[in-house]
Amino acid sequence: MLSNARAPHLAGGALLALAAAILLSLGGLALWADSRKDADGYLSTDAHRFTAGSRALTTGDLHLDGVCTLVDSGDGDENVRFQVTSAHRKPVFVGVARTRDASAYLRRVAHTTVTDVSTSPFRAQYEAHPGTARPGTPARQRFWAASAQGTGSQTIAWDAADGSWSVVVMNADGSRGVAADVSAGAKAPFLDEIGWGALGAGLLVLGASAALVARGVRRSRPRVGAPLASPAG
């Protein structure tokens, strides 16, 4: 059993070692993610296939309250990006709008909402919304914060603001049967600072842990020349 003097130092050292491991792992992960940014400074997901037999694919509400500060690079440029490529090689439309405007546009129109996404392996879950109305040509609507349409890969980027937003993907003519490969990206300007800061803090905490453990080990050793206890009798 550990002596009373030794136990607190070793227990404290173990706890600090655990904290150091967490900080070092966080720092390494942040620096790895920072190295994955593209030339424009975006950290992006892989492109994944989304499909629906309806006239539009939409995200659920994207609540960006407070998120904008994390992705704001401070240079006034767009900080959120979506890249969409039609799987049918037909003109595709992609737009982002306030959820209330997107919902009003798609009211009574058959559309499909992506409700959840699993990444390993990739699998999307959908909710179908029935409707019989034909939507107006998406590119002619004026409520989009950012939009693009055409053949091949289409990209939208915008300076995201707080609130609820929806991304809408459609065939450019509003026809049924939407299938597209979609990638999302965001600027994360502070990843390198977070990474190096966490690594530095982890090393400091690791040093404190080593000092505590060393002190605990020293306390457990008998002093040289200390008298041995005489046997009772």
For 84-134, the DSSP string reads: EEETTSS-EEEEEEEHHHHHHHTTTS-EEEEEEEEETTEEEEEEEE---PP
- Domain contains 105: yes
Number of domains in the chain: 2
CB proximity list for 215: less than 8 A, separation 6 or greater: 9
pLDDT for res 233: 46
**Residue-by-residue pLDDT tens, the chain, 233 positions:** 445 556 776 777 778 788 878 888 887 776 776 667 777 777 777 889 999 999 999 998 877 655 544 555 455 566 788 999 998 888 999 999 999 999 999 999 999 999 998 887 889 999 999 999 999 999 999 999 999 999 989 999 888 777 889 999 999 999 999 999 999 888 766 766 777 777 788 788 778 777 877 776 665 555 555 555 555 54
130 and 87, same structural domain?
A: yes
DSSP lists the bridge partners of residue 49 as 181
Domain co-membership, 68 together with 90: yes
**Are 96 and 131 contained in the same domain?**
yes
3-state SS assignment for residue 218: helix
The per-residue pLDDT for 147 is 95
For residue 156, what pLDDT is reported? 92
Q: How far is CA 212 from CA 75, 84, 99, 208, 222, in A?
A: 45, 54, 55, 6, 18
CA dist 184 and 176 (Å) reads: 23
Do 134 and 91 share a structural domain? yes
- Domain residues for the domain of 16 are 6-34+191-219
Model pTM above 0.85: no
Long-range contacts of 32-35 (CB under 8 A, 24+ apart): 33/188, 33/191, 34/188, 34/191, 34/192, 34/195
Q: Does 105 lie in the same domain as 12?
A: no
Rounded to whole angstroms, the Cα distance separating 75 from 205 reads: 35
- Let me know if residue 229 belongs to a domain: no
